[in-house]
Amino acid sequence: MSLPVLTHAVKLELPAGLAPPVPEASVVEIDIDADGTIAWNGTAVAGLAQLEQYLHSQAAADPRVEIHLHPDRRTRYDVVAQVLAATQRSHLRHVGFAGMSEFR
């Protein structure tokens, strides 16, 4: 028993050149001082409501933005938790703690 050899081919037109570069995601630095003061890229924020406005506008401009949190080691946890909850309500997914070597 034998089978015929497949001799047909599919022509593909592949694009030439390299793929366009993926733009870098923007980074926002949020500092939380020991007294609960919150700073957005070095500028003090009036409160949690203003921080949420900043987060919503940033999420609308670039949803891939990276949020780097820098809490002071004496910051109360509830302030940090409120900031994390605000980022979650803004549908930002790239949130992380930066500069945590002092907590080791």
Q: What is the pLDDT of residues 8-47, one digit of tens each?
A: 778 888 878 887 787 787 899 999 999 999 999 999 999 9
Instruction: Say if residues 24 and 62 touch (Cβ distance below 8 Å).
Output: no
As given in the structure block, the two tokens for residue 89 are 């309500």
Q: Is the pLDDT of residue 4 over 80?
A: no
Element housing 94 (H / E): strand 94-97
Domains in the chain (CATH in brackets) are 27-103 (3.30.420.270)
Higher pLDDT, 8 or 91: 91
Given this model, what pLDDT does residue 104 score? 53
